[in-house]
Amino acid sequence: LCRSSDSSRFMICCDACEEWYHGDCINVSEKEAKHIKHYYCQRCKEEDPSLQTVFRLVPAPGPIPLPEEKKPKKRKKDTPIGGSSEKRCGSCDGCLAENCGNCEGCLSLTKNGRKQRCDMRFCSNSSTRKKDRAAIKAGGRNKKRKRSVTPEVFCNPALEGERQCYGPGCIMTARPQSKYCSDECGMKLATSRIYQVLPQRIQEWSLSPAVGEEQNKKALESIRMKQAIVRATLAELDKRHAELDLLVERAKRCSLDPNALENADLEDEMSMYCITCGHEIHSKTAIRHMEKCFNKYESQASFGSIFKTRIDGNSMFCDFYNPASKTYCKRLRVLCPEHCKDPKINDTDVCGCPLVRNVFELTGEFCRAPKKSCFKHYVWEKIRRAEIDLERVRQWLKMDELVEQERQIRQAMASRAGVLGLMLHSTYNHEIMEKLCAGKF
């Protein structure tokens, strides 16, 4: 080996050590390398004798059809099997060898222009191919065997021969590959085993309390407490909704105060940017602009379901049916800009928003400005109803989750002490059973 880094010459890589070798150093030509699938160097072969160079299977072209005048059909039987039209394997030494250029086949190729094979390039596997063809001719057409669709029958060697039926009190001979003479005997034996084993398992279950049962009981108590909290929250929300209705009715009876909007603040000269569209707006009309901008973008999205909401009491969702998509609108009824429009405001309507001090302290007074002109408390009633309905939705979702958890725990508790569970699983408490056995004797 030259061990040089000359990349201008042909090189081949070992698939084991990934070392590159020149083809002329290891006696492998570039043409021969095209037929090699996996190559292993001499050093890797010495370290691991199982490594062998693997050649590719190169399909040879089929025989060239000759005109009918020159080659009649009757003479097909006289054609020698090992002729020039025979397919080669493409992996032996004869197929991979190069033309010698001195034999009659190579010389006739240059003299007459006819394609003939070199005398040194004969396939070494042609003898096996001759045997295969002779076998095909003797046995007729070679057909593929179809795989059977029926499953293979498995025979248990322990159940071969004549055996007595395992049924209680039965003296009949068992059926082939079975322990019983009939299905009735098998059912009788299974029933007797249940009556024999089940009472002891029930006694073991009653003596030692299961840890899983205690954990499930504690989880049930925790879930019931959470459900009670959710019900109390829903009742509180209903109370807030009723108080809001009374507040609105009380505000409607108040008289208008034309001077309520004359008190100008420093905030009226300020400007800000809309959080939805990004435009610069005046702080005085900011709430109204943001509300309308939100409704505009909200109308572009669709929130629907194929089922209509069925909740006792007030319907919080829009539930408008769309025949095109065959869905019900699942927006909150108060906030749906497409199907639920705001009521018309008259000139004599009072704003009625409760006034507060220090953000959270109610003063007991109401805003008596005209509802059309009051931008400070724009759609305050709609926003408060939406807050209540949104909290209701959260509580109902929490209640659904708690009900599902309770169902799973109850199902686990019901299946724990069943007949199948007691027959398949048991925990034998040796201390308790020894005390019981000692007490009996």
- Residue 36 sits at φ, ψ, to 5 deg, of -95, 125
DSSP 337-399: TTT-PPPPPPTT-B--PEEEETTTEEEEEE--SBTTT--TTTTHHHHHHHHHHHHHHHHHHHH
Encode 360-399: b = buried (16+ Cβ within 10 Å), e = exposed.
eeeeeebbbbbbeebbbbbebbeebbbebbeebeebeebb
Question: Whole-prediction pTM value?
Answer: 0.50
Q: Is 264 helix (H, G, I), strand (E, B) or coil?
A: coil
| Tokens standing for residue 309 | 């909401």
**What was the pLDDT predicted at 81?**
41
Q: Which helix H or strand E contains 290, and what residues bound it?
A: helix 286-298
Give the Cα separation of 321 and 328 in Å (integer).
5
The residue among 227, 365, 178, 375 whose CA lies nearest residue 291 is 375
Q: Which DSSP state fits 254?
A: S
Give the Cα separation of 110 and 267 in Å (integer).
105
Give the Cα separation of 79 and 82 in Å (integer).
9
Give the Cα separation of 256 and 371 in Å (integer).
10
CA angle centred on 57, ends 51 and 61, rounded to 5°? 165
How many helices (H) does the chain have, and how many strands (E)?
11, 11
Residue 274 and residue 290 in contact, taking contact as beta carbons nearer than 8 Å: yes
**What was the pLDDT predicted at 183?**
92
DSSP 63-78: PPPPPTTTS-GGGGTT
**What was the pLDDT predicted at 261?**
62
pLDDT along the chain (441 residues), means of 10: 78 87 86 85 88 76 56 47 54 73 67 62 62 52 55 66 88 88 93 88 78 90 95 92 86 74 56 82 80 79 81 76 86 80 78 80 79 80 88 91 94 83 75 71 53
Q: Which helix H or strand E contains 274, and what residues bound it?
A: none
Q: Which helix H or strand E contains 19, and what residues bound it?
A: none
Cβ contacts of 250 within 8 Å, gap of 6 or more:
352, 366
- Residue 239 sits at φ, ψ, to 5 deg, of -65, -40
The structure tokens 């007490």 sit at: 439
Cβ contacts of 21 within 8 Å, gap of 6 or more:
1, 11, 12, 13, 14, 41
First to last CA, the chain: 93
Q: Is 8 helix (H, G, I), strand (E, B) or coil?
A: coil
Cβ contacts of 392 within 8 Å, gap of 6 or more:
234, 237, 316
**What was the pLDDT predicted at 226?**
95
Residue 119 and residue 103 in contact, taking contact as beta carbons nearer than 8 Å: yes
